[in-house]
Each structure stands twice: as structure tokens, then as C-alpha cells.
Structure 1
Amino acid sequence: MWSALRAWLFDGSGLHKLPDRVQAAIRIQQEQSEILIAWVQLAIVAMLAVVYESTTMPGGVVQFGNLETAVLAIYAVFGVIRLALAYRRLLGAWMLYLSVLADMALLMALIFSFHLKYAQPAAFYLKVPALLYVFLFIALRALRFEARFVVFTGVAAVAGWILLVLYVLSGYGGPDDPTTDDFVDYMTSNTLLFHAEVDKIIAILLTTAVLAVAIARARHLLVRAVSEGAAARDLSRFFDPNVAARIRTAAMAVKAGEGELRDAAILTVDLRGFTRLSTELAPDDVMKLLQDYQGRVCPLIVGHGGSIDKFLGDGILASFGAVAPSSAAAADALRAVDAIVEAADRWAAERRSRGMAPLSVGLAVASGRVVFGAVGDGERLEFTVIGDAVNFAAKLEKHNKDEGTRALTDERTYGLAQSQGYRSPAKPETRLGRHVAGVQDSVDIVVLSP
């Protein structure tokens, strides 16, 4: 049982078992926490310096030396060094433990200096309110989300306070027998009441225990959050950003079979000649070619408000106004086509300059009512768009070969885009009554790029 409790408190949720990238993310969080702790420590020493150095001495009392000034100065130097190491990510565990000891040494030395500063017996310092700073230093270690440092700070504080009590009992700082059993006498004189000091120690230990448990729980949540955050970032690369955001912000779990009706525009993109190239090139070269092509096209689609629905080998299916309603879906889709055509021309010129065969793309846009939602078997889900516009866009893209063009849309979609503010960079050509394979009625098409 003790080993299980120890592992739960101090093992950090099996941090060493996590992937390196997750461990690195947690280390970054801890390093940032150490910078914050270092600044807080410097703020504490500055505050204490103001408080203790501005204390007015009562008349007739002779100040014994300037111990607190020396302690604060030493601690300030230590704090600056610690801050520099924190920024350089050079704080090892030994330095962190040393920092805890420095905190407690500072506090106990300041408390000890009270009876010297006011020329009182040692028992005088047992009642000073500076002991409350112990709880601040314990809480300060909680910022790192490691219970071991909280426990070590609490134990160091108790050890320091016991040493101060033992000094009182030694008689060097006052009467030979400074103890009392009378609480009123304890509160109104320079005496020591064992029960009062035990209460203080118990309060420190209980505070340490509660904070250690709280930090252990928080650390488990931190590890889980960082792990899930890293997984979410990785998984979001497999989803369109808008779809990923929709999943993250969904009020209820996403289920298969749930969909929404949308007025959307559908864009299909195809890389010409890829099938032949995939049989001629090495596998690595095939994937590099795809990455080069998709790396140029996909940002343009997303940049114009589109969402990548899926990659179909060298084909790309994108939607505008499906993931989220849009009043300019058709216009955005045609603007994306113009941008992709321009990028494809640059890509072809780059390949020619390197002595490589130029590649071209085929595009088509259709619009209409589609259903957007999740499909799958419950264990494996996929967001997609379904509807006549999706099928029509795919058929229209294939029709580019029959027309000898690169980009097409139908006349209705083009008119809708114009009503939404789209203006073509060049005067498009309209071709009436075309027969598109798989479409029963003739189609009036608009050539966006010959």
C-alpha cells in the first residue's frame, strides 16, 4: 500500500513511460514554472527587505548587528543566480532542493534575528508572524506540479522550526527554563508552550500533506492534459482545422448517422498524369511528389474558406460552406480555383527550369444542397459531405479532358458566385448544352481556365 501511495504521489503518473514528445512538453511546462518561481522568490526578498529594513526600533533598544540585511543580501544573490539558471534551462534537481533549503534558511534566520534586533530572550521570536511565510514557501513549490518538492519544503520548515525551539530550550537565548503550561502566560511573556509549538508543526505538516495530495492529483491531470493535447495536435493534422474545431467544441459526443443540411460549393482537384508517374517513380519519390502538390494546393483551399474533406490518392475533395454555413461559398470556391491555377502555372515553370516534365491539375466546382455529418460504424468515424453537388463536381472535373480545359463549373454555380461578389480575373467562356458523362441532362458549363 505504501509503495502504491508513494508511486501515486511521486512517480508523476508514470512520466518515464510516456512518449518522448509528451515528456518534452511536460518539461517545458516545468521549466516555465521554475522561471515564475524564481521571479516570485526575488519579489519575496524585495518585499522582506522593505518590511524589515523599514522597521522603526523602539526607543532605548539597541539593535544587535544587522543580521537580516546580510541574510537578505545573500538570498538576493542566490535568487538572481537561480533566475539566470531557470532562463537557461539549467536547473537540476539538486539546485531545486538547494533552493528550498535557501528559502527555509532565509525565513528561519529572519525569525531568529527578531530577539537580537529587539534585545529579547530567544522565546520572543516564537510569536512573530513571520512564521506565516512558511506556508507561502510551501505553496510556492506547488507551482512546479511535483509533490516531492512540496513535501521536502514542509519537512525542511518543520526541521527549521524545531531547531529554533531547541535553541530556546538550550537557554542560550534567555532564562534557563523558558517553558510554561499557562497559555495566557505564553501569550503575554517570553516563554515557550510545548503544545503551541506542536500545533504550529502539525499545521505545517497538514498543509504540506494537503498540498502534496492536491499537487499529485493536479500532476496526474497535467500529464493527461499534455498527453491528450499532444495527441489532439497530432490527430488534428489528419482532420481539416474546421472539422477538428467542431469536434473539440461539440456539446455532445459525435455520433455516426447525424448530419446537417447545407447550401455548399464543392471543389474537386486532380493531378494530371499521376497514375502513370506512380508506376515509374520510386515509392519515396511518389510520396514527395504528392506532398509537393498537396502542399501547394491545400493552403490555398483553406485560405479561401474551404475545408478539406478527404484526399483520394492524387485527388482532393473540398467543401465551402459545409462545415460552417457561409453566404459566399460559391464565390470562395471560384476564388480558390483561380489561386490554384496560378500556383499550378508557377509549379509547372519550376519543374521545367529543373529539367522535369511539367504537371497540370484539373479542377471543377459545383454547388447545391449537401448533407454534412459523420459516417462510420461507431468505432471509426469520418466527417464527409454527401449529395448531388459532390457527385456532379467529380463528374465535371473528369469532363475537363473532353473539353480540353483545366477548370470548369456549371453556369448556375458561376451565376451564384457572381451574386456573392466573385469577379473572374479573365473573361470566362460559356459552352452550352454539353453532355457530361453520368449526367442525364445537358449542362451549360463555364470554363474557368482553358
Structure 2
Amino acid sequence: MIQRIWTSRKPGTGTTVARFEAAARDNEEQVLAVGALRGERRVGWVRLALIGLLALSQTGITRLFGEAMILDPIRMWVGRVYMAFAVATFIYLIRQKPTPRRSFWWPFFTMTVDICFLVAMSWRSYQLNGVFDGAMFTACSAVLVTFSVMRYSRLHVLVSTMLGAAGYMLLCWVTGNHSAGRVSFVLGCFIALGLLLAETNRAVRGMFLELRGLDNLSRFLPRQVADRIVKNGETSLMPVQREVTILFSDIRDFTTLSETLPPQVVLALLDDYFGHMTHIVLERQGMVNKFLGDGMMACWGVPEHTEDHAEQAMRAALDMRAKLVELNAWRRQRGEPELRIGIGLHTGVVAAGMLGGTRQHEYTVIGDAVNVASRVEGLTKVVGTDILVSESTWKRSGGRFQGERVGEERVKGRQEAVVLYTLKGREPAPSTVFQAEPTGT
């Protein structure tokens, strides 16, 4: 049985990206369901308000202007039934939770009842006074069609438009008011309104999905990855092999420091520290991949390919050093111990892509370069400096930085020694000498 299920699975459906796409579609449907339910609740409010306006216009306003009131038991009975429907519908929607299935099917029921009520009231008015008030029917049905712009799908716009147009044509036919010119014009207006509302529904849904999707993705994925998904789709995150620059950073002796502080203070310290360091990485076009206790891993060159990934990473390391000086000055003023960090950088080829299931995802990089970068950061304690750069990163930066070769070091899990450089600062730009032009005598 298990073998049969496995072999019947389509190629690629078991990959992480495929599972991520499935989860993204489920999330999209749920987001639309939430928006549709909120829209239906607003429609419920408007429906109740329109019923009140209808009752007021047919009684109080008519009496105020001395017009004849239509006191018809059938119309009153239909009105009471529709009022009960509106109240029950509103209460039902308030108590419901958003589900894609209900959000899709529920509007077909309510829009049918709305149009049937309008047709019944118009037909009864015609029976009583022999006049079909096409203008009032068209105005009311246009409002009902407009309700669909807040609903789950453009199909709801199509169906509500067809129901409104069909109700008008039916009344024109049974009342004998089927002028070809007038009917065709009204139907054209219905079509124009439907097309406009359908496009508005599509645009609003798309914008809503993009904003909500980007917000949700940004909570769990790096911003660059979230932007790439929204722009190009989930398949843009298929695994790739690429040269990147990896940065590891770590707060020195943090375990000892954290043992002397309450947990809330430790979390506040890390939150402030990582907030500043994350901002630096993002400003330098990098991606914060993960936080590792008091450490951080960032990378340059994925998901978007860049040629200057090593240079940007080294600039970020220097910015982090400068920011730590500012943070320590602030901590000294508050009588708090200063922080010391170690930063290691290495450039190499990695595999980058999505990992995880349908409920938890992570865009990450895997390979020897990641391990080496982590070991290089650890060697900052051995060498006695705060920033160490591997030879591959140093060469890739194009000689734009100041530093010293500190020798070769063995790293765990690798046979070849790693040549290391300290990072002092950026290479000063060459000065330009201007010569004064000779002045005439």
C-alpha cells in the first residue's frame, strides 16, 4: 500500500519547494477566507441599513410628503421574512470562523435571496398599481451587485451581475415593458458594472494577498527571500549551487555574562544587539540566515546573485565593529559591562534552498564553506582579534581593505589549513592632486 502511494506521487511533489508551494496556497486561501468573511459581515450591516431605509422611505418619508402609502399585507409579509433573513444571516456571520469552502459557497445563497426579494417586491408593486419602477429596481440591484466586490472570488461578481440582469429582464417581460432600446441599455450598464467590479475584486484580492503574504513570509523568512517569493513565485527558491560569502559572529564570554543577569535582561540585551547587527547586514545587501543563541549567521550572494558579495560582507563586518563601539559607550554610561564579539568570514561554494515541511520552512545554505566560516570565527579567540577573514574572501574582495596575514590555521573537519587575515579597515581611496593653472602676467 505504501509503495503504491509513493509510486503514484507526481515527480517533484515531495520536494521542500513543492511542500512550501502547497502550504502557500493553503495560506492564500485562508487569507482570502478571512477577508471574505469580513466583507460579508460588512455586507450584513449594509443590508440591515438598506432594509431600514426602505421601510423609512415607504412609510415615514412617503407620509411626510403626502404621498399615498402602499399598505399591502403581502409586501409587508415579504419584508418581514427578508428582515428575519438579514438578522439571522448577520448573527450567523458574526459567530462563524473563516473557511475557504464556506466563503466560496455562502454568497451564492445570500445574493440569490437578495435578488429574489427585490424581484418579489417589484412584481407586487406592479400588481398593485400597474407600473414597473425600473429605475428603483435597477438602483437597488446595482447596490446588491456592488456587494460582490468584497467577496471571495470574481465568480461572485459574475453571478450577482447575471442575477440582477436576469431579474430586470424577467420583470420587463412579465410587465410588458420590454422595450429593446431601454432593456439593451440597462443590460449594457449591468455588464459594464460587472466588469468594473470584477477587475476591482481581482486587483484588491491580489494586492491584499501580496501584502499579507509578504508580511507573513517576512516573519519567518529573510526579507530578501520573502520578496523573491512574492515577485517570482515559490519555484524561484529551487536549490542552487553558488559561491557566497558567509559571516559568523559571536558574543565573547556571553555564557558567563548571562549567568549574572535575569532572563528578561538577557533577552532584552540580545534583542537590542541583534536589532542593530541585523540592520547592518540588510543595509549591506546581506541576508541574516539564523540566530544561534548569542551568535548570528549571515550570507551574501543568495538568494540573489551578486558579484561583490565578499566586499559587502567585509564592509558589514567593519560596520558591526563600529556599531559595537557605540553600544559599549552607551553601556558604560549605564554602568553595564561592555560586549566583545568575534567575526569570521569565508567565501566558498554552497547549496542554497528551502528546507522544512508544510508548516515550518527555512531558507538556508549548506556546505563546507559554512563549516569553515564557523571555524574561522572560533579562531578569533586563538589569534586574539575580533575579525578574521579567510584567504578566499580576502582575494575575492579585490584588495579594497587593510589587514595583515596572520598565517595558516588548522580547522576541525578539514585537512587543508586555512590562510587567515585580520581586517583593519577599508583601503583609503587614492588622492587626486590638482595643479594650479598658471596665471597670465
TM-score relative to the length of structure 1: 0.54
Q: CA deviation at 1:194?
A: 3.9
Residue aligned with 1:418, SS: coil
Q: CA deviation at 1:402?
A: 0.8
* 1:142 pairs with 2:146: yes
Q: CA deviation at 1:435?
A: 3.9
Correspondence 1:14-33 to 2 at 5 A: 18=34
Does the 8 Å CA contact 2:311/2:396 hold for their aligned counterparts? yes
Residues of 2 paired with 1:14 and 1:300: CA distance?
Answer: 35
Does the 8 Å CA contact 1:399/1:437 hold for their aligned counterparts? no
Q: CA deviation at 1:227?
A: 6.5
1:430 — aligned with what? 405
Residues of 1 paired with 2:206 and 2:281: CA distance?
Answer: 34
Residues of 1 paired with 2:392 and 2:53: CA distance?
Answer: 75
Residues of 2 paired with 1:352 and 1:24: CA distance?
Answer: 54
After superposition, the C-alpha distances for 1:63-103 in whole angstroms (9 at most, x for unaligned) are xxxxxxxxxxxxxxxxxxxxxxxxxxxx998599979x99x
Correspondence 1:297-336 to 2 at 5 A: 297-336=277-316
After superposition, the C-alpha distances for 1:376-414 in whole angstroms (9 at most, x for unaligned) are 356643221112211111000011111111111023321
Q: CA deviation at 1:353?
A: 0.8
Change (3 A) 1:96 1:232: farther
* 1:339 pairs with 2:314: no
* 1:234 pairs with 2:192: no
2:423 — aligned with what? 448
* 1:392 pairs with 2:367: no
Aligned residue identity for 2:222: D
Residue aligned with 1:145, SS: helix
Correspondence 1:132-171 to 2 at 5 A: 138=142, 142=146, 145-146=149-150
2:9 — aligned with what? none
Q: 1:268 aligns with which of 245, 248, 263?
A: 248
1:353 — aligned with what? 333
Does the 8 Å CA contact 2:348/2:392 hold for their aligned counterparts? no
Does the 8 Å CA contact 1:135/1:204 hold for their aligned counterparts? no
Correspondence 1:12-411 to 2 at 5 A: 18=34, 94=49, 138=142, 142=146, 145-146=149-150, 194-196=176-178, 226=208, 229-250=211-232, 253=235, 258-376=238-356, 380-411=360-391
Residue aligned with 1:428, SS: strand
Change (3 A) 1:93 1:266: farther
After superposition, the C-alpha distances for 1:242-297 in whole angstroms (9 at most, x for unaligned) are 11123234456578xx5211111111111223223333333322221111011100
TM-score relative to the length of structure 2: 0.55
Residues of 1 paired with 2:389 and 2:314: CA distance?
Answer: 9
Change (3 A) 1:209 1:418: closer
Does the 8 Å CA contact 2:243/2:349 hold for their aligned counterparts? yes
**Among the aligned pairs, what percent are the same residue?**
27
Residue aligned with 2:365, SS: strand
Does the 8 Å CA contact 1:268/1:316 hold for their aligned counterparts? yes
Residues of 2 paired with 1:14 and 1:247: CA distance?
Answer: 18
Residue aligned with 2:305, SS: coil
Change (3 A) 1:26 1:243: farther
After superposition, the C-alpha distances for 1:318-368 in whole angstroms (9 at most, x for unaligned) are 111121111111111101111111011111111111111111221111001
Unaligned runs of 5+ in 1: 1-12, 31-90, 106-125, 166-192
Question: How many equivalent residue pairs?
Answer: 311
Residues of 1 paired with 2:315 and 2:350: CA distance?
Answer: 21
Residues of 1 paired with 2:403 and 2:38: CA distance?
Answer: 52
Aligned residue identity for 2:340: S
Change (3 A) 1:228 1:321: closer
Does the 8 Å CA contact 2:210/2:230 hold for their aligned counterparts? no
Change (3 A) 1:133 1:415: farther
Unaligned runs of 5+ in 2: 1-28, 62-130, 426-441
Aligned residue identity for 1:247: I
Change (3 A) 1:97 1:336: farther
Aligned residue identity for 1:307: M
Residue aligned with 1:196, SS: coil
Does the 8 Å CA contact 2:213/2:230 hold for their aligned counterparts? no
Aligned residue identity for 2:219: R
Change (3 A) 1:359 1:97: farther
Aligned residue identity for 2:272: D
Structure exhibiting the larger radius of gyration computed from Cα positions: 1
Residues of 1 paired with 2:51 and 2:227: CA distance?
Answer: 39
Change (3 A) 1:25 1:282: farther
Aligned residue identity for 1:145: V
Aligned residue identity for 1:328: D
Aligned residue identity for 2:225: V
After superposition, the C-alpha distances for 1:21-79 in whole angstroms (9 at most, x for unaligned) are x699979xx9xxxxxxxxxxxxxxxxxxxxxxxxxxxxxxxxxxxxxxxxxxxxxxxxx
Change (3 A) 1:223 1:326: closer
